[in-house]
Amino acid sequence: METAFAFRIVPSDDEEKPGAYAVFPYDRDLVRRFRETFPRARWRADDQHWFVPGTTAVQRLDTWMAQELQNLDRHADEKGRDAFAFEPLESPYLTVADDLRVRTPYSRTIVEALRSIPWAHWDPEERIWRVPFRSYDELKARWAEIEEAARRNEPAARQRRREEQRAQRSDESVRVQAERRRRRYPVPGDDLPPLGFPLSTARWGVVVFEEIESDPIHDPDMAEFYPHIRSDPSGYVWAHWRMPTLQEVYRTRPSRADEDPELRSVRGWWWASRDELRERARKLREVERMQRARHEARNASADV
pLDDT in single tens digits along all 304 residues of the chain: 455 567 888 898 888 889 999 988 777 888 898 999 999 999 988 888 899 999 999 999 999 988 887 766 556 778 888 889 999 999 999 999 889 999 999 999 999 999 999 888 899 889 999 998 989 999 999 999 999 999 999 999 988 888 888 877 777 778 888 888 899 999 999 999 999 999 999 889 999 999 999 999 888 888 888 888 877 888 999 999 999 999 999 999 998 777 778 888 888 999 999 999 999 999 999 988 988 888 887 877 666 5
The three-class DSSP label of residue 123 is: strand
- The predicted structure's pLDDT at residue 54: 92
- The predicted structure's pLDDT at residue 147: 94
Number of neighbours of residue 37 by Cβ within 10 angstroms: 15
- The predicted structure's pLDDT at residue 154: 92
Residue (of 180, 217, 212, 181) closest to 196 by Cα position: 212
- The predicted structure's pLDDT at residue 303: 62
- The predicted structure's pLDDT at residue 3: 54
Q: 65, 7 in Cβ contact below 8 A?
A: yes
Bridge partners for 23 per DSSP: 8
Mode of pairing for the β-strands spanning 42-44 and 94-96: unpaired
The three-class DSSP label of residue 49 is: strand
Instruction: Tell me which H or E stretch contains 274.
Output: helix 274-303
- The predicted structure's pLDDT at residue 1: 43
The number of angstroms, rounded, from the C-alpha of 73 to the middle of its chain's C-alpha atoms is 41
Roughly what angle, to the nearest 10 degrees, separates helices 136-152 and 76-86? 50
